[in-house]
Homo-oligomer: A and B are copies of this chain.
Amino acid sequence: MKELLQKTYGFVFEEKLIEEIASVSLLRDFEEGDILIDFGDYIKKMPLLLEGAIKILREDFDEGELLLYFIEKGDTCAMTMACCMGETKSEIRAVAETKGKVIMIPVYKMEEWLGKYKSWRNYVFNSYNNRLKEMLNAIDNLAFMNMDERLISYLQDKSKIVHSKEIHTTHQEIAYDLHTSRVVISRLLKALEKEGRIKLHRASIELN
């Protein structure tokens, strides 16, 4: 486990902290589609992402979801951190976009390290800051962009996360993430294809 941590966090945490993390944490492998955290879950461990990508979703009052942002290697979920610290239930759902590995840190250690390691403090703050930025970005998208632009932005983000111009997903999936209907997505995708910006295949989209 220590080697895995070194690889991703070697330049972020000091040696001693990495050793401590390794000694108290659990390593967990996950597969694409796994629900790592669900709405209302009571969080007792904070996740650090070592490999893979995760998407963070917000739940509608009655029904439906909305994608907030993706997290990648080296990130943690500040929303979850918030839950840990505040001892409240999870406000979000975390679903694996790809397979990967996380490390789970017990909450009480988190707090202890805040006083003890400056690198940990910096990391935690940076995570909060990054998450605030992503939330702002989500708000910008919702407030200032039409669905066609949101769709494009979504495709670009997704492409970045999987490191490929080929996105394997269905129109329905996209519709869930953007909190709209499948028909709307199909319509807009078709328009994008006609503009020559993408190519559509069954259950996959190719960006140009």
- Give me the interface of A with B, judged by CB distance under 8 Å: 58, 60-61, 64, 66, 68, 78-79, 82, 85-86, 91, 114-115, 118, 121, 125-126, 128-129, 131-133, 135-136, 138-140, 142-144, 179
Q: For residue A141, give the distance in angstroms from its CB to the closest CB of chain B.
A: 9
Q: Is there an interface contact between B121 and A66, defined as CB atoms closer than 8 Å?
A: no
Nearest opposing residue in chain B for A143, CB measure: B66
From B68, B115, B125, B139, A68 is in contact (CB under 8 Å) with B139
Q: For residue A101, give the distance in angstroms from its CB to the closest CB of chain B.
A: 26
Q: Is there an interface contact between B78 and A143, defined as CB atoms closer than 8 Å?
A: no
From B66, B135, B143, B179, A135 is in contact (CB under 8 Å) with B135
Q: For residue A77, give the distance in angstroms from its CB to the closest CB of chain B.
A: 11
From B82, B115, B140, B144, A129 is in contact (CB under 8 Å) with B82
Q: Is there an interface contact between A58 and B143, defined as CB atoms closer than 8 Å?
A: yes
Give bound CA distance, A61 to B146, whole Å.
Answer: 13
CB-CB under 8 A from A61, the residues of chain B are 140, 144
Give bound CA distance, A66 to B143, whole Å.
Answer: 8
Give bound CA distance, A140 to B91, whole Å.
Answer: 11
Q: Is there an interface contact between B142 and A142, defined as CB atoms closer than 8 Å?
A: yes
Q: Is there an interface contact between A143 and B142, defined as CB atoms closer than 8 Å?
A: yes
Give bound CA distance, A126 to B84, whole Å.
Answer: 12
Q: A139-B68, A143-B142 are in contact. Are A129 and B86 (CB under 8 A)?
A: yes
Q: For residue A157, give the distance in angstroms from its CB to the closest CB of chain B.
A: 16
* 9 shortest interchain CB distances as A-B pairs: A142-B142, A135-B135, A82-B129, A66-B143, A128-B128, A60-B144, A82-B132, A86-B129, A143-B179
CB-CB under 8 A from A125, the residues of chain B are 85
Give bound CA distance, A105 to B61, whole Å.
Answer: 39
Q: Specify which of A66, A136, A143 lies most central, judged by the most chain B CB atoms within 10 Å of its CB.
A: A143
